[in-house]
Amino acid sequence: MRLMITGLLLLMMSLPYSTAFAKDDRALRAERNEAQKKRQQQVNERNKKNHAAMADFRDFTRDLNQEYQEKTRGMDTDYRMQKIELKAQRDMKIAEAESEMHQNISQLYLNPQSMDNLKAMEKFKVDMKSHQDKVFAIKKQAATDEHNEYIGVEKNKHKVMSERDQQALDKAKALGLLTKQQPILAKPIGGALTSQEERWNKREQKEVERMYSNNQRQLREYTKGAKLREWEINNKREDFKLKWQKKSEIHALQNEQAYYNSFIAAGGNMRLKQQELSAKMAEISKQNRMVNIKYSKIDKQNRLKRNTERRKMMGY
C-alpha cells in the first residue's frame, strides 16, 4: 500500500514538468519553422536577384558585342584591302621570274643536242634550280609579309577586344556577379542544429558554389578572352612556320622532278637509262608522300593538343 502511494505521488509530481516540456518543444518547433521560412525567403530573393543580374548582364554584353564587332569588321576590311595589294605585287614579281625561267627551258627544247652534253646538263640543272628558288623565295616573302600584316591586325583586334572585356567585367562587378554569395545558414535554436538544419546548411554551401560556378561560366568569354586570343595568335605563328617548312621540303623535291620532266618532254636521254630515270622519279614521288604524311601527323597532333589546351584554358 505504501508503494502504491509513493508511485502516485511521483506521477503527480511529474505531470506539471511533462506539460512544460511539451510546451517548450512546441515553442522550439514554431521558432525553427519560422526561421526556416525566413531562410527560404532569403534564398528565393538571392536567386531572383542573381537571375535578374545575369539577364541585365546579357542585355548589356549583347549591345557591347555588336558595337565591337563593327570595330573589328572595319579592321578586317582594311586588312583585305592590304592583302589585295600585296598579292598584286607578288604576282608581278613571280611573272617576271617565271618568264625568265621559261626562256631558259625554251632554249633547251630548241637545242635538244645539248641534253646529251653532261656539262650542259649540269648547267641547265643549276640554272633551273636557281630560277625555281627565286620564284619560291618571292612567294615565301610575299606570304611572310601577308602573315605579318595579318598578325598585326589580330594584335590590334586583341587590344580592342580587351577593352570590350574590361567593360563587360566592370558591369559584372557592379551587378555582383564576380563575388561569391555568402550562404544563408541555419543557426542553432535551443542548443544545437537539428538533422534537418544540418542538411540545409550542406545544401546551401553547395548551392552557393554552384551559383558562383554558373556565373563564372557565363563570364569566361570576358575573363579568359585575352589569354585565349594571345594563345590563338601564337598558334597562327606556329602554323605558318610549319606550313612553309613543309612547302620548302616539297619545293626541293619539285625542283628535282621538274628537272627530269623537262628533259623527258624535250626527248633527251640525259645519259640516263630509262630504268634509272624511272627509279629516280619513283623515289621523288615516295619522298613527296613521306613529307605529306609527316606534316599531316603533326597537324593532327596539334589539333588534339590544342583542343585539350582550349578546354583547360576555358575551364570546360
Provide mean pLDDT across the span 291-303.
Answer: 96
Residues 6+ apart with CB under 8 A from 68: 160, 161, 163, 164
Q: Residue for cell digits 650542259?
A: 120
Model confidence, pTM: 0.77
pLDDT attached to residue 5: 46
Evaluate if residue 198 carries a pLDDT over 60: yes
Average confidence (pLDDT) over 10-23: 48
Cα(83)–Cα(150) distance, integer angstroms: 9
pLDDT score of 244: 97
Task: Find, among 216, 221, 228, the residue nearest to 64 by Cα.
Answer: 221
DSSP per position, 172-202: HHHTTTTSPPPP-----SSSS--HHHHHHHH
* Predicted pLDDT at 111: 61
In which band, very low, low, confident or very high, does the pLDDT at 264 lie, cut at 50, 70 and 90?
low
In tens, the pLDDT along 126-179 reads 777 888 888 899 889 989 999 999 999 999 999 999 999 999 999 999 999 999
Mean local confidence (pLDDT), 286-300: 95
Question: Per-residue confidence at 214, pLDDT binned at 50, 70, 90?
Answer: very high
75, with CB counted inside 10 A (0-12, 13-18, 19+), is middle
Spatial neighbors of 209 by CB under 8 A, at least 6 apart, are 180
User: pLDDT above 70 covers what percent of the chain?
Assistant: 82
pLDDT above 70 for 24: no
Q: Which residue has the higher pLDDT, 209 or 1?
A: 209
pLDDT in tens, 75-85: 888 888 888 88
